[in-house]
């Protein structure tokens, strides 16, 4: 007998449970999804510019600023001259995993799924998160640092400079192809407008404590409690 679905889960577009065995890849956003903060906002706090940067972040996540790359460049420009020690402080004192993140990732890995961390945030933090949760694939942005200070720019990587919504989608599809999976065998979990492209490409889209536009478009919305609740709809 299937356990009742918690009232904190809103399910749209299908009848649970889905079979966990039908999935092969799970893609996760990082900031405000797997972890409790928006890292760029916390870095800005060290520069005394949190309110200004956070306002841009919030507008971008709600989808009010449709060009994620532009919004990120605007925020990064405000961080020029911030010391690397600010990143160290955020990682050591502010970054925590959201409830259920470890449990969900462990359960998915135990079921044989590959895990993808795909973030519009920064490698300084994704390295830590990926190592802690056992991610198989990672894509994120690399902050440019010169003489121990942020330049306000990013390092160009082999795939490009900025991991926006389209890059998240492309990475999900690329990783799926690499392991021989089809898009319908993928799930994508996020909270902001820049997660919608990959969520739309996946067989199962999950909004976690998300912005209204994202909640409305997701197949599953977790509005209260932890990420582990997703397991209730994955029989």
Cα angle 80, 73, 144 (rounded to 5 degrees) comes to 50
Gap between the Cα atoms of 2 and 233, Å rounded: 9
**138 pLDDT higher than 60:** yes
Q: Does any domain span residue 73?
A: no
Q: Examine residue 139 and state whether it is found in any structural domain, yes or no.
A: yes
Specify the residue for token string 């993928």: 186
Residue 3 has pLDDT above 60, yes or no: no
Q: Which of 50-64, 89-103, 194-208 has the lowest mean pLDDT?
A: 50-64
Average pLDDT, integer, range 88-96? 96
Average pLDDT score over residue span 98-107: 98
Mean pLDDT, residues 122-144: 98
- Structural domain tally of the chain? 1
- 44 belongs to a structural domain: no
Share the mean pLDDT of the chain.
94
pLDDT of residue 1: 38
Q: Which domain holds residue 111?
A: 9-36+97-233
Look at residue 74 and tell me if it is in a domain: no
Which one, of 211, 205, 210, 213, lies nearest residue 233 by Cα? 205
In the residue annotation, 22 being an active-site residue is answered as: no
Pick the catalytic residue from 22, 31, 41, 136.
31
Cβ-contact 213, 63 below 8 angstroms: yes
Q: Collapse the DSSP code of 116 into the 3-class scheme (helix H, G, I; strand E, B; otherwise coil) and give the result.
A: strand
Residues 64-86 have pLDDT tens digits of 988 999 999 999 999 999 999 99
In a domain, 75, yes or no: no
| 8 Å CB contact between 172 and 202 | yes
User: Dihedrals φ, ψ of 163, to 5°?
Assistant: -85, 95
Residue 7 has pLDDT above 70, yes or no: no
Per the annotation, the verdict on 29 as an active-site residue is yes
Cβ-contact 52, 44 below 8 angstroms = yes
pTM of the model: 0.94
Catalytic residue among 29, 164, 191, 195: 29
Residue 214 lies in a domain: yes
Is a pLDDT exceeding 60 seen at residue 228?
A: yes
Task: Place 18 in a pLDDT band, splitting at 50, 70 and 90.
Answer: confident
Please report, for the domain that includes residue 22, its CATH number.
3.40.50.1000
Whether 67 maps to a domain, the answer reads: no
Q: What's 75-89 look like in SS3?
A: HHHCCCCCEHHHHHH
Q: Can you read off the two tokens belonging to residue 62?
A: 């709600």
Q: For residue 15, how many other CB atoms are within 10 A of its CB?
A: 7
pLDDT of residue 16: 62
């Amino acid at each position: 007998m299937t356990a009742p679905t918690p009232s904190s889960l809103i399910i749209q577009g299908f009848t649970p449970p889905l079979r966990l065995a039908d999935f092969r890849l799970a893609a996760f956003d990082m900031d405000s999804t797997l972890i409790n903060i928006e890292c760029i906002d916390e870095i800005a706090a060290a520069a005394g510019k949190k309110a200004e940067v956070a306002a841009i972040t919030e507008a971008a996540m709600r989808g009010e600023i449709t060009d994620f790359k532009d919004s990120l460049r605007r925020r990064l420009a405000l961080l020029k001259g911030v010391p690397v020690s600010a990143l160290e402080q955020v990682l050591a004192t502010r970054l925590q995993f959201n409830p259920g993140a470890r449990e969900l990732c462990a359960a998915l890995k135990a079921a044989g799924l590959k895990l993808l961390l795909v973030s519009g945030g920064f490698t300084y933090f994704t390295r830590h998160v990926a190592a802690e949760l056992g991610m198989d694939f990672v894509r994120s942005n690399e902050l440019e640092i010169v003489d121990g200070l942020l330049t306000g720019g990013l390092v160009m990587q082999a795939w490009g400079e900025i991991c926006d919504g389209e890059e998240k989608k492309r990475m999900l599809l690329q990783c799926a192809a690499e392991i021989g999976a089809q898009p319908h065998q993928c799930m994508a979990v996020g909270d902001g407008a820049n997660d919608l492209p990959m969520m739309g490409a996946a067989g199962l889209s999950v909004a976690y404590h998300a912005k209204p536009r994202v909640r409305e478009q997701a197949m599953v919305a977790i509005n209260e409690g932890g990420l582990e609740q997703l397991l209730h709809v994955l029989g």
